[in-house]
Amino acid sequence: MTDTFKRLEGAALDSRRPLGEILDAIRFNDDGLIPAIAQQHDSGEVLMMAWMSREALEETLDTGRVCYWSRSKGKLWRKGESSGQQQHLRSATLDCDGDTLLMQVDQTGPACHSGRRSCFYVSLEGDEARITSAPLIDPETLYGKR
């Protein structure tokens, strides 16, 4: 835990710090990334987890449109740039260690590349797994044939 986050443990309710100080203290991994969880702001449904670089986080905070870091493509990825299914930031909070981000978002349509509302649709139950939701949209409709 960084000294900045240690100091926040004892901070009074509604204490304020400069954003740059907090961004400097985030514990990005060795690849310069932090896990970012997107949760639907009004229902609490967990939609997805992706990775953010500092640049992606700053863009998200500046524009209100959620931007991630695509590890497979090695570049910024603005949610919805190919599917049209955007995420708009409502709020962002860091965990107590400064190594995980939770975002309250307004998601248009499905969040998952499979066409489902949430990426979390495989339920592990005892000795089996069960699919808990059907696609809202055929992925080929969202992305074309891959």
pLDDT in tens, 32-77: 999 999 999 999 999 999 999 999 999 999 999 999 999 999 999 9
The CATH number of 3-9+16-106, from 1.10.10.10, 1.10.10.410, 1.10.3720.10, 3.10.20.810, is: 3.10.20.810
pLDDT band at 1 (very low <50, low <70, confident <90, very high): low
Taking CA atoms, 138 is separated from 45, 110, 131, 143, in Å, by 21, 10, 16, 9
Residue 146, pLDDT above cutoff 70:
no
108 within 8 A of 142, measured Cβ to Cβ: no
Q: What pLDDT score does 50 carry?
A: 97
Instruction: Read off the pLDDT band of 23 (50, 70, 90).
Output: very high
Query: How confident is the prediction for the chain on average, in pLDDT?
Result: 91
pTM above 0.75?
yes
Look up residue 49 and give its two tokens. Answer: 């987890």
Q: Domain ranges for the chain, please list them.
A: 3-9+16-106
Note the pLDDT of residue 12: 79
